[in-house]
Amino acid sequence: MTTGTSGQTHLSSVQIDVLRQELQEQLARRRGHLAGLQEEASEGTGADETWQELSVSIVTADRAVAELTQALDRLAEGGYGRCAECEAAIPFERLKIRPLARYCIACQRRHEAA
Protein backbone atom coordinates (compact mmCIF):
# COMPACT_ATOMS: atom_id res chain seq x y z
CA MET A 1 0.00 0.00 0.00
CA THR A 2 1.67 3.19 -1.18
CA THR A 3 0.47 6.76 -0.94
CA GLY A 4 1.93 10.18 -1.55
CA THR A 5 3.46 12.42 1.08
CA SER A 6 0.04 13.63 2.21
CA GLY A 7 0.62 12.14 5.63
CA GLN A 8 -1.00 8.81 4.90
CA THR A 9 1.09 5.74 5.43
CA HIS A 10 2.50 3.61 2.66
CA LEU A 11 2.52 0.62 4.98
CA SER A 12 -0.30 -1.89 5.28
CA SER A 13 -1.94 -2.46 8.65
CA VAL A 14 -0.24 -5.87 8.85
CA GLN A 15 3.17 -4.29 8.21
CA ILE A 16 2.48 -1.61 10.81
CA ASP A 17 1.52 -4.30 13.34
CA VAL A 18 4.72 -6.25 12.62
CA LEU A 19 6.86 -3.14 13.04
CA ARG A 20 5.00 -2.00 16.18
CA GLN A 21 5.52 -5.41 17.77
CA GLU A 22 9.23 -5.37 16.89
CA LEU A 23 9.66 -1.86 18.30
CA GLN A 24 7.76 -2.76 21.49
CA GLU A 25 9.85 -5.91 21.99
CA GLN A 26 13.08 -3.98 21.47
CA LEU A 27 11.89 -1.28 23.87
CA ALA A 28 11.07 -3.85 26.56
CA ARG A 29 14.51 -5.47 26.16
CA ARG A 30 16.31 -2.12 26.26
CA ARG A 31 14.37 -0.95 29.31
CA GLY A 32 15.24 -4.17 31.10
CA HIS A 33 18.88 -3.79 30.15
CA LEU A 34 18.89 -0.15 31.29
CA ALA A 35 17.29 -1.09 34.63
CA GLY A 36 19.96 -3.74 35.16
CA LEU A 37 22.74 -1.27 34.39
CA GLN A 38 21.25 1.33 36.72
CA GLU A 39 20.98 -1.24 39.49
CA GLU A 40 24.59 -2.26 38.91
CA ALA A 41 25.63 1.40 39.06
CA SER A 42 23.79 1.96 42.33
CA GLU A 43 25.67 -0.95 43.89
CA GLY A 44 29.10 0.13 42.61
CA THR A 45 31.70 2.32 44.22
CA GLY A 46 32.50 4.41 41.14
CA ALA A 47 36.21 4.18 41.81
CA ASP A 48 37.57 2.38 38.76
CA GLU A 49 37.49 2.09 34.96
CA THR A 50 34.48 -0.21 35.04
CA TRP A 51 32.45 2.66 36.49
CA GLN A 52 33.24 4.77 33.43
CA GLU A 53 32.34 1.90 31.10
CA LEU A 54 29.11 1.38 33.03
CA SER A 55 28.26 5.08 32.72
CA VAL A 56 28.77 4.96 28.95
CA SER A 57 26.60 1.84 28.75
CA ILE A 58 23.83 3.57 30.72
CA VAL A 59 23.90 6.60 28.43
CA THR A 60 23.85 4.36 25.35
CA ALA A 61 20.96 2.27 26.68
CA ASP A 62 19.04 5.40 27.69
CA ARG A 63 19.50 6.83 24.19
CA ALA A 64 18.24 3.58 22.64
CA VAL A 65 15.13 3.68 24.87
CA ALA A 66 14.49 7.28 23.79
CA GLU A 67 14.90 6.43 20.08
CA LEU A 68 12.54 3.48 20.35
CA THR A 69 9.98 5.56 22.23
CA GLN A 70 10.19 8.27 19.56
CA ALA A 71 9.73 5.67 16.80
CA LEU A 72 6.62 4.33 18.53
CA ASP A 73 5.32 7.89 18.90
CA ARG A 74 5.87 8.51 15.16
CA LEU A 75 4.08 5.24 14.44
CA ALA A 76 1.09 6.32 16.54
CA GLU A 77 1.04 9.76 14.88
CA GLY A 78 1.36 8.39 11.33
CA GLY A 79 4.82 9.78 10.58
CA TYR A 80 6.73 6.54 10.97
CA GLY A 81 8.23 5.14 7.78
CA ARG A 82 8.75 8.52 6.13
CA CYS A 83 12.20 10.00 5.55
CA ALA A 84 12.90 12.77 8.06
CA GLU A 85 14.63 14.75 5.34
CA CYS A 86 12.74 14.33 2.05
CA GLU A 87 9.54 12.68 3.39
CA ALA A 88 9.83 9.83 0.88
CA ALA A 89 8.39 6.48 1.93
CA ILE A 90 10.94 4.19 3.54
CA PRO A 91 10.33 0.65 2.21
CA PHE A 92 8.99 -1.96 4.62
CA GLU A 93 12.00 -4.18 3.88
CA ARG A 94 14.36 -1.46 5.18
CA LEU A 95 12.20 -0.82 8.24
CA LYS A 96 12.02 -4.54 9.00
CA ILE A 97 15.83 -4.71 9.04
CA ARG A 98 16.33 -1.29 10.67
CA PRO A 99 13.13 -0.36 12.53
CA LEU A 100 14.70 2.89 13.72
CA ALA A 101 15.58 4.06 10.20
CA ARG A 102 14.75 7.75 9.91
CA TYR A 103 16.04 8.30 6.39
CA CYS A 104 15.50 6.77 2.97
CA ILE A 105 18.58 5.14 1.42
CA ALA A 106 19.50 8.22 -0.66
CA CYS A 107 19.34 10.61 2.30
CA GLN A 108 21.12 8.12 4.57
CA ARG A 109 23.99 7.92 2.09
CA ARG A 110 24.20 11.74 2.00
CA HIS A 111 24.37 11.85 5.81
CA GLU A 112 27.06 9.19 5.92
CA ALA A 113 29.10 10.96 3.22
CA ALA A 114 28.98 14.31 5.02
Q: Please report the pLDDT score of residue 18 as a whole number.
A: 96
Sequence-separated (6 or more) residues with CB below 8 Å from residue 114: none
pTM value? Answer: 0.81
Q: Quick check: 62 pLDDT over 70?
A: yes
Helix (H) or strand (E) holding 73: helix 49-77
Q: Is the pLDDT of residue 90 over 70?
A: yes
pLDDT the model gives residue 3 = 40
pLDDT at 1: 39
For residues 105 and 55, give the distance between their C-alpha atoms in angstroms, rounded to a whole number.
33
Tell me the C-alpha distance between 54 and 10, whole Å.
40
Whether the pLDDT of residue 17 is over 50: the answer is yes
The Cα–Cα gap between 2 and 8 comes to 9
Question: Number of C-alpha atoms within 13 angstroms, CB side, residue 97?
Answer: 6
The whole-number pLDDT of residue 101 equals: 94
Residues 29-58 have a mean pLDDT of 86
Name the pLDDT band for 46 (thresholds 50, 70, 90). low
